[in-house]
Structure 1
Amino acid sequence: MDLAQLNLWLAEHSSLILPAVAVIAFVESFAIAGIVVPGVALLFSIAAIASLSHIPVESVLIAAFLGAVAGDVLSFFIGRAFHDRLTNVWPFSRYPDALSQGERFFNKYGTISVVIGRFVGPLRPVLPLTAGMLQMPSAKFITINILSACAWAPAYILPGYLGAEFSQNAFANEHAGLSAWLVVCLILTALPWLVTLKLVSIPFKQKHVLLANLSYSIIGFLTITSLVILGAFDRLDVWLFSLVSALRNDTLDALLVATTLIGDQLLLTLLFLICVVLLLIQKQSKLAMRLALAGISASICTHLLKYGLNLSRPDLVVGKLSTASFPSGHTSGFSIFAGTLAGLILHTKEKVHYAIRSIIICVIFLVASSRVLLGVHWLSDVLAGLLLGSAIVSAALWLGSRFSSLSDAKCLHQNPSEQAVPQANWRQILVSILLVSLLYQSLLFDTAMRFYSVR
């Protein structure tokens, strides 16, 4: 039975959809099996079928969560029980490279590898096994596993579930042209971020790539601004707003609010200040200055544009939004914070794993999407915010690359002992960001849920 036949069979037997979701999530996460089974495609398809069968999204998320946790926990205890002879046992003996890759990744990133590995295809069914083999404490693994599964389930289920519901209207004949423009806009906006975070390799010097990226982002931002002023974006904005408004429900709202809180101005101000202070304490004054300038530039540009253009927002939520619509401050602020920080880390640690950079860009676009899905910004607002963010991040990193080139030239004339420069403690900074963000979420989540509720 191929994928199409399976989808058709499940559509005809809707009572088996939730058990199928749990089983597929289990197999996708289970030791080695996830390498062989196309779990991502299956989960996307079955989530779409669940949507079209009108199964509540929270039920699908719970089924995926339980299956994924069970698969990882069983894999962990298998690794723990057979740690000294696992490579000689079938079927694990057939994939020695996968096991060794998982072990290298775990040794390099430690505890955080369990979280990262859940979102990386080849590593997902191997890292729990590896964590067990290397005798990671059971309570620690299970806690991290459960928390990471809370993010994994929405990430793998919602695209298919919401995509099926969205596509019923979006790709009807009368909306085909608008759908095509939406896809084009998203691709063109994503390109500079793929370059900034080095997810796309360009064979030129980094400072030249950043300069080209800066130019592209500025041109793109000015183009969108001009189109918005001329009213050329109105039809696309209103059409998308009407579609996403119909998707709102309690479960999705909770996920969207938790995501959008990451981009709150107060939280971003705290995070910028904390990171700058920590970098100064670590004697990384140049990095601190670049991060501070990026944050100040984000605030000035966003507020000046909002005040100058004074464009109205969608009128959907209960809360009273005090600033104008264009561009999205949440989008520009968070993208600049995350993008600049990621760029600084990449500058000092070139071997940062591809998966980590992918997660960063996904979170940036999730925060941007939450503004549209919550009905507090138009599509044009977040596209402009992403391009403005890309421009400021590229400028900050480009200026840094110029200064670092001058510093490297001076270092050639110094003694080796004088060239040793302490490295930034990024782990300390990232842990601080995580703790402050979690505290902020716990304090303001209930208030935000009421604020963003539909009128």
Structure 2
Amino acid sequence: MENFNWADLINPEFYINLEIAGHKIGIYVILFIIFAETGLLVGFFLPGDSLLFLSGIYSKALMAEVVYIENDFMNVWALASLVALAGIIGNTFGYWFGAKSGNYLYQKEDSWIFKKKYLFESKAFFEKHGGRAIIFARFLPIIRTFAPIIAGIANMEIKKFMLYNILSSFIWAYSLIFAGHYLYRYLLDNHQVDLTHYIEYIIIIIVLITTVPLVMKAIKSKGNKAE
């Protein structure tokens, strides 16, 4: 923490390797970030997809902070399950907050933490895709933060919400963490390529993949308004 830089806040490796008083706490920080990004308004700027992908690469070291598991697959499975659980709890909290806050957020003034435009973008996304928006939103930065809140404001049936919530959490966590782990193992074992040497490129690629759809949607919306 001595050489802390504000840019570290959007760097997944910073959280994974974080330690206090000589003790690694990366796994706990990751679980809190997943909760915050899916359940708290302040979590939208945090790295989500890239954090999970890199967590898959470092799964053994991360799980060692909690419990030692000799089996490689069980390490990845346990990590993905913990992340999925954090995502479920986060989304549930977001839903509850949306249901309780009602239209308060629509009256709230913009601040450096809260931008009302994100709320409207998420509302439009939710109205277009319905319950499936909860699943799609998991893979879209910013929208995944506001989607459960919108579901709560819209009084989406709790049973239906929880079904999509649980399903989306496991799909998101398992797909990204398992992809990160086994792609890393495959390239290292078969091509002697160590992905840990290309972390910066991995982060850039994942950010582009997840943000390009949002950028294209924004451009399309502006084009339609101009017409």
* Bin for the TM-score computed over the shorter chain: 0.5 to 0.7
Q: Quote the residue 1:220 is aligned against.
A: none
Letter in 2 for 1:49: Y
Between 135-144 and 33-42, report the one with greater CA deviation: 33-42
Contact 1:52 1:165 in 2 (8 A): no
* Distance change >3 Å, CA 98–CA 88, structure 1 → 2: same
Alpha-carbon shift at residue 91 of structure 1 (Å) = 7.4
Any gaps of 5 or more consecutive residues in structure 2? 70-74, 195-212, 218-227
Q: Quote the residue 2:86 is aligned against.
A: 67
Contact 2:45 2:142 in 1 (8 A): no
Query: Where do 1:253-268 residues align within 5 Å?
Result: none
Letter in 1 for 2:77: E
Q: Quote the residue 1:150 is aligned against.
A: 170
Q: Give the TM-score taking structure 2 as reference length.
A: 0.65
Q: Quote the residue 1:79 is aligned against.
A: 98
Alpha-carbon shift at residue 52 of structure 1 (Å) = 5.3
Describe the SS at the equivalent of 1:29. Answer: helix
Describe the SS at the equivalent of 1:124. Answer: helix
Letter in 1 for 2:184: A
Within the candidate set 116, 119, 135, 1:96 is matched to 116
Asked if 1:24 corresponds to 2:15, the answer is: no
Query: Where do 1:98-177 residues align within 5 Å?
Result: 98-172=118-192
- More relative contact order in 1 or in 2 (CA 8 Å, sep 6+)? 2
Any gaps of 5 or more consecutive residues in structure 1? 176-198, 200-350, 352-455
1:139-172 deviation line (CA, Å, top 9, x unaligned): 2211221122121111221122223333432442
Structure 1 ranges of 4+ moved more than 4 A: 52-55, 89-93
What percent of counterpart residues are identical? Answer: 23
* Distance change >3 Å, CA 90–CA 44, structure 1 → 2: farther
Alpha-carbon shift at residue 94 of structure 1 (Å) = 2.8
Q: Quote the residue 1:433 is aligned against.
A: none
1:397-425 deviation line (CA, Å, top 9, x unaligned): xxxxxxxxxxxxxxxxxxxxxxxxxxxxx
* Distance change >3 Å, CA 61–CA 90, structure 1 → 2: farther
Between 27-36 and 96-105, report the one with greater CA deviation: 27-36
Letter in 1 for 2:122: G
Query: Where do 1:394-409 residues align within 5 Å?
Result: none
Within the candidate set 35, 38, 46, 1:37 is matched to 46
Between 70-79 and 102-111, report the one with greater CA deviation: 102-111
Alpha-carbon shift at residue 122 of structure 1 (Å) = 3.1
1:233-269 deviation line (CA, Å, top 9, x unaligned): xxxxxxxxxxxxxxxxxxxxxxxxxxxxxxxxxxxxx
Name which one, 1 or 2, has greater alpha-carbon Rg.
1
Aligned residues: 175
